[in-house]
Amino acid sequence: MRSIKLGTRNSPLALWQAREVERNLQNRNYSTEITPIVSSGDKNLQQPLYAMGITGIFTKDLDIALLNHEVDIAVHSLKDIPTELPENIEIIAVLKRDFPQDVLVRKPDAETLDLRDLKIATSSLRRRAFWLKEFPDTEFSDIRGNVQTRLRKLEEQDFDATLFSLAAIERMGLDIRYEAIPIMISAPAQGVVAITGRSDDPEMKEVFKEINHLPTQICINIERNFLNTLEGGCTAPIGAFAEINDKNEIRFRGRLCSLDGQNCIETDEIFAYKEGVNYGKKFAEEVIRNGGREIMQQIKTQL
């Protein structure tokens, strides 16, 4: 078989994820090649690609490389992949979820401050709204960039703390202090590495069948269906987390909040999983009936 070309973004975390997928392939005696994708600006794209609804801000360049046959598969943080995928692209495998939680990282001189007194840097609507639910007077700053960039900004700029996905810290082996924040519910599919491939490439789909982690796939399908049903094309503060407990049942927690965090609807369900039931859609429709429709309409007028 030919060497498998893995497409990835060029950030340190993205390259870690690609190497983790590469390790899984090499353990099964496949030869591999990692291809960092930096920019789509100089690609000679055919018009049909533009019409495929490629919307993911972090996935667009890799989608294009995949569709242009420059790579065989693409490796992503699953929470970055839109729930509506471009034509001829699908998620063909997920690795076992490792660290789904959000954590708080403070400046050293802010370690004694009460949570309600912290000035927080985050550009995530979900993290802002969920924090405001508990601490409505919090002041926020915008912050963007990869993990290293945000840590540098935390040192240099005028705020007390920022919020990270624990997966980013643990995967990079960063020696920084963080604290758990139980008030948060993770973004749908947070802490999961996903592999996308072309729908018309049965060879790659067969290769990744044995790598795919089925319990993780079951949980993230519930989370992403919950997100997809609620969103309706609108970005909103939505959390969703499903996990399989020691009784082989699934516990699902979902939350939708207004942007100011003061109007939130939550669901917390434990159930025996049956294949073929769209649990995510079912729970999202309950949220919509319980006031979620009004929250989503309000958000659409504010963004």
Instruction: Convert the pLDDT of each residue in 165-209 to its tens digit.
Output: 999 999 989 999 999 999 999 999 999 999 999 999 999 999 999
According to the model, what pLDDT value does residue 162 have?
95
Confidence of residue 58 (pLDDT cuts 50, 70, 90): low
Q: Is the pLDDT of residue 40 over 50?
A: no
Q: Hey, what are 52's tokens?
A: 């495929």
pLDDT at 52: 37
Which amino acids are annotated catalytic?
80
Fold agreement between 4-94+193-211 and 226-302: no
Residue-level pLDDT at 191: 96
The pLDDT score that the predictor gives to residue 47 is 30
pLDDT at 41: 33
pLDDT in tens, 154-168: 989 999 999 999 999
Q: What is the pTM of this model?
A: 0.90
Token representation of residue 197: 């491939």
Predicted local distance difference test score (pLDDT) of residue 60: 85
The chain-wide mean pLDDT, for the chain, equals 90
pLDDT band at 56 (very low <50, low <70, confident <90, very high): low
pLDDT band (50, 70, 90) for residue 11: confident
pLDDT over 50 at 251, yes or no: yes
Q: Could you identify the residue written with the tokens 């958000």?
A: 299
- Contact 204/71 with Cβ under 8 angstroms? no
Q: Which residue has the tokens 């392939």?
A: 25
Q: Using DSSP bridges, classify how beta strands 238-244 and 250-257 pair: parallel, antiparallel or unpaired.
A: antiparallel
For the chain, the domains span 4-94+193-211, 102-180, 226-302
Residues 256 and 291: beta-carbon distance below 8 Å = no
Q: For the purposes of burial, counting CB atoms within 10 Å of the CB of 289, is it exposed (0-12), middle (13-18) or buried (19 or more)?
A: exposed
pLDDT for res 233:
58
Higher-confidence residue of 118 and 12: namely 118
Q: Which CATH class is domain 226-302?
A: alpha beta
- For the segment(s) 102-180, the CATH number from 3.40.1390.30, 3.40.309.10, 1.10.10.60, 3.40.190.10 is 3.40.190.10
Question: What does the pLDDT average to over 32-45?
Answer: 65
46 has pLDDT over 80: no
Secondary structure percentages of the chain, helix, strand, coil, to 5: 35, 20, 40
Region 108-128: mean pLDDT is: 93
Q: What is the CATH number of domain 4-94+193-211?
A: 3.40.190.10
- Reported as half-sphere exposure (CB side, CA atoms, 13 A), residue 213 has a value of 16
Q: Residue 300's pLDDT is what?
A: 87
49 pLDDT higher than 90:
no
R_g of the chain, CA atoms, integer Å: 20
What are the contacts of 24-31 at 24+ separation with CB within 8 A? 24/95, 24/211, 25/207, 25/211, 28/210, 28/211, 30/1, 30/3, 30/4, 30/207, 31/1, 31/3, 31/4
